[in-house]
Amino acid sequence: MEHVAELNVIAPAIGRGPVTTGVPFPRGALVDLQKLVLRDASGKAVRLQSRATDLWPDGSVRWALIDWIAEANAGPYRLGIGEPVAVEGPTVTVEEQDQLIEVNTGVLDLNIGIPGLFPFSDVRAHGVSAASPMTTIFGSEHAYCDNPETVVIEEAGPLRACVYLTGSLTRTGIRGDRDVKKQLGQRVVEPLGRFEARLHFFAGSAAVRIEFTIRNPRRATHPGGLWDLGDAGSVPLEGILFDCRFPGDEFDLRCSPEIGAPVEKFTAPFKLHQDSSGGENWRSTNHLNRKHEVTTTFRGYQLTSGESERTGLRATPIVTLTNRERAVGITMPHFWQNFPTRVTATRDSLTLRLLPRQSADSHELQGGEQKTWTFAVAFGPDATPEALEWFRQPARAFASPKWYCASGAIPYLSPKADDPNADYLKLVDAAIEGADTFDAKREKIDEYGWRHFGDIYGDHESVYHTGPQPMVSHYNNQYDPVAGFAYQLMRSGDPRWLRHMEELAAHVIDIDIYHTTQDKSAYNGGLFWHTYHYVDADTGTHRSYPRSLLQLKGMPGLDPNDPKAQRSKSVYALGGGPANEHNYTTGLMLHHFLTGSAASREAALGLARWVIDMDDGSKTVFRWLASGNTGYASQSRDAGYHGPGRGSGNSLSALVDGHRLSGDAAFLNKAEQLVRRCIHPNDDVPKRNLLDVENRWFYTMFLQALGKYLDHKAERDELDGMYAYARASLLHYARWMADHEVPTLSRPEILEYPNETWTAQDMRKSEVFKFAAKHAAGAEKTRFLERAEFFFRDSVSRLTAFETRTLARPVVLMLSFGYMHAHFQRHPEEAAPPPKIEVHDFGRPEVFVPQKVRAKKRAKLLVVGGAAIGLLSVVALVGWLLLK
């Protein structure tokens, strides 16, 4: 076989189960997916399912999604290109007839349809009718999932199939209790939200993996730019039940409550309820509700069986119920992390309960917020603890660092083992090694629970905090740690990076993206900011400014020089919510390539579309006065600056990712429009005032995105006029940087807070010089490489000297930036192709005027014109009266 990739698998030590992973290939290496061959450690061929998730410009496969059924201890596997090998085995079939989808895995038959029970019905395992699955949702009144409105076959391979369903979440009650949309006799039905689900089926298995999402599509009202709990756009929920009915007289109930715990026999009624994380800080103020009450009531979980009761800390249960030939089992990874959760069993049912009642208050799903849970249910002979272990601890597979890096699918990536920069690597590994890892940070504020699990504790915001309890701050995806985790996974092959990537990606998709179309276009579908600097999140959750911030100035004894008091003055001026300066897509794109996650792909594309939508003047109230672009996609720091900046840089990067994921020319066209708007080869750079670090430090973010855009164009051999324009602009700014830029902390007097983050941000300067060096030659190339080396060394050495170097923000910056230095150390001669079109005159820079400014100017002219016309009318009337 040619181009052999070794795939390492982390899986349970017993049984067999499904594995899915994304594998990259060098350009031109894989043209026909049918020629992929997978073998286990003994050399035996293994049945394989594959599809391309990304292509090189020449049409060859860049990323392939690989599925197979793995045996315990059968790896490492070897994936190569060769002559197809036929391997017999069971196959998944998915057939659609008249809105009814029939699924057969060889041992499991069921139906999914419109109408039909959610999620499926008519279940037969190994030819025997199984328990009757149904789903019921409980809110403050009885609520439920309507029949699915759409059912789509999303994946139809021989080893894994996926069916995607969507529908309405509704609540029923007595007529007259509330304003309702529809009346049915004495009952009423009220829309509550939306649900969607992905049902994964596997060849030869009677187990189904379910990804279930509930969404509140309403907008938040966010009065005064505040997005706290208790907003009028929220909806209350008190429980989601997946209930498998199991009629019969005799049954056998077994449970393994925790990973590694033995399977035990229990009696009904049975209940295992996880009320909190089980950590030492389980009563953290991270778990405040809208009433400012901590909702957790006891530490860990309680298990009751018949008359007996016991407790534990962190449950990830497998529960099975067997009655003669029938059996059903259920398990859920991240059970305790997404508390509150509960699994119960009676003499005739087995039920998974999500968001069960935890306190006197219901759970609040904020406007535009959603939540996804993943769990598995198995039927018949596969409803055993051994079979379900593969779903309690899903198998993870990944290629070797050498393979990822040599494929070229991620530019500038080199194996960690080949990186000579030990001090830099130590800064990176602080995320997973030592006393202040990201896992340890979670425990400080108990960054767990259904809303917060997966997020990073922003401990850098607590440096001025002096209270008895840890200050709560949510980092969100600032500077794209999802991408940083992906880079470090591929560089090192350490599965801890994979876990962090998956957990944060899930959180970002559900909680940090504003899933609504009912607000203004600058917000709809956007990504929320992290918690506001140096203040507690309080009831603001992840949505930036908490309402309590407004009360700080009036608090007795508060030092007016305290950062909290100073920053509270501008809360109304700045506003909260999504903004172009916090829009990160690359990590979600990489997560999709590495895992096949459809949700990550949708999220990345959605954020790229958000850039186009927010800049579309036809979607604003100003469209009646002025057409054209709003400028929301390109502004940074303030509405009047549309040069190289954080907002314009993030928008450009997101559009390039959107183009790569979809091939839609609208993304590239918009990217090139922003390039022309924000930078010019003949810019008067000193007038940009880029050395005003507090207000313009982020110009390097745009130049990094510009380098990414140039790489994208060169890869596609689009060496056109725009390529020449962007290239000339990058070189123009790099020359100015080489003459004027210095390490930021060499001038601490110009900074409000001279801290470790500034020196970490200087790593961006090193990367800008690397991009510029690719497009330069001779002495200029040498100078750029020297400047890249200088800023890399300075950033690493200064950051290493800080005791605060392990705080979240500087570590995230090291994860995402700096890795490309080892590549340029080995390949200093690397050069980008020159433009195919020679352009000698790029014209003069034009000043962009946002739609709002143009609209206000036109409004003033209309007022003045109207007044003039009115005055003339009065004069004419007086003259007519005098002459009459």
pLDDT tens string 784-826: 999 999 999 999 999 999 999 999 999 999 999 999 999 999 9
Largest Cα span, the chain = 112
Q: Is the pLDDT of residue 555 over 70?
A: no
What average pLDDT score do residues 135-154 get? 67
Q: Are residues 97 and 6 in the same domain?
A: no
What average pLDDT score do residues 776-785 get? 98
Of 500 and 323, more confident: 500
Least reliable range by pLDDT among 117-121, 338-342, 621-625, 684-688: 117-121
Q: Are residues 27 and 128 in the same domain?
A: no
pLDDT for 634-674, tens place per residue? 999 888 999 999 999 999 999 999 999 999 999 999 999 99
- Specify the CATH number for the domain of residue 68: 2.60.40
Q: Are residues 97 and 188 in the same domain?
A: yes
Do 492 and 541 contact (CB within 8 A), yes or no? no
pLDDT for 191-219, tens place per residue? 778 999 999 999 999 999 999 999 999 99
344 forms beta bridges with 271, 351
Residue 7 domain-assigned (yes or no)? yes
Rounded to an integer, what distance in angstroms lies between the CA atom of residue 138 and that of residue 141?
7
Q: Is the pLDDT of residue 161 over 70?
A: yes
Q: What token pair was written down for 173?
A: 């009650």
Q: Is the pLDDT of residue 558 over 60?
A: no
Rounded to an integer, what distance in angstroms lies between the CA atom of residue 378 and that of residue 371?
23
Q: Is the pLDDT of residue 59 over 60?
A: yes
Q: What is the pLDDT of residue 800?
A: 98
Domain termination site, one of 88, 116, 131: 88
Q: Are residues 73 and 102 in the same domain?
A: no
pLDDT band for position 73 (cuts 50, 70, 90): confident
**Type of residue numbered 784:** F
Q: Are residues 47 and 120 in the same domain?
A: no
pLDDT band for position 572 (cuts 50, 70, 90): very low
Residue 786 domain-assigned (yes or no)? no
Nearest CA-CA partner of 541 in 371, 698, 373, 372? 371
What average pLDDT score do residues 546-553 get? 71
Distance separating the N- and C-terminal Cα atoms of the chain: 105
Q: What is the pLDDT of residue 557?
A: 37
Q: What is the pLDDT of residue 876?
A: 65
Q: What is the pLDDT of residue 559?
A: 47
Which alpha helices (H) appear in 58-148, and where do they start and end?
Answer: none
Residue 62 domain-assigned (yes or no)? yes
Q: What is the pLDDT of residue 690?
A: 97
329 forms beta bridges with 320, 378
**Type of residue numbered 211:** E
Domain termination site, one of 351, 370, 392: 392
Q: Is the pLDDT of residue 124 over 70?
A: yes
What average pLDDT score do residues 520-542 get? 92
Q: Which domain holds residue 271?
A: 93-392
DSSP 8-state secondary structure symbol assigned to residue 803: T
Q: Is the pLDDT of residue 104 over 50?
A: yes
Q: Are residues 281 and 355 in the same domain?
A: yes
Q: Are residues 152 and 56 in the same domain?
A: no
- Specify the CATH number for the domain of residue 167: 2.70.98
Q: Are residues 380 and 258 in the same domain?
A: yes
Angle at 380 between CA 379 and CA 381, to 5 degrees: 120
Q: What is the pLDDT of residue 877?
A: 53
Residue 705 domain-assigned (yes or no)? no
Distances in whole angstroms, Cα of residue 590 to Cα of each of 213, 480, 501, 505: 22, 11, 10, 10
pLDDT band for position 373 (cuts 50, 70, 90): very high
Domain termination site, one of 65, 88, 111: 88
Q: What is the pLDDT of residue 179?
A: 40
Nearest CA-CA partner of 608 in 560, 554, 651, 552? 651
Pairing of strands 100-104, 108-113: antiparallel
Q: Is the pLDDT of residue 768 over 70?
A: yes
Residue 323 domain-assigned (yes or no)? yes
pLDDT band for position 84 (cuts 50, 70, 90): confident
Q: Are residues 61 and 157 in the same domain?
A: no
Residue 422 domain-assigned (yes or no)? no
Least reliable range by pLDDT among 285-294, 439-448, 539-548, 681-690: 539-548
Residue 522 domain-assigned (yes or no)? no
Q: Is the pLDDT of residue 184 over 90?
A: no
Q: Hey, is 467 helix, strand or coil?
A: coil
Q: Are residues 158 and 142 in the same domain?
A: yes
Distances in whole angstroms, Cα of residue 724 to Cα of each of 304, 701, 710, 839, 845: 70, 20, 9, 7, 15
At 390, which helix (H) or strand (E)?
helix 385-392
What average pLDDT score do residues 848-871 get? 83
Burial of 336 per CB tally in 10 Å (0-12, 13-18, 19+): buried
Residue 15, CA atoms < 13 Å, CB-side half-sphere: 20
Q: Are residues 191 and 59 in the same domain?
A: no
Q: Are residues 112 and 84 in the same domain?
A: no
Q: What is the pLDDT of residue 871?
A: 61
Number of domains forming the structure of the chain: 2
Residue 612 domain-assigned (yes or no)? no
Q: What are phi and psi of 133, to 5 degrees?
A: -85, 140
DSSP 8-state secondary structure symbol assigned to residue 15: S
Q: What percent of the chain has pLDDT over 90?
A: 76
Q: Is the pLDDT of residue 141 over 50?
A: no
Residues in the chain: 884
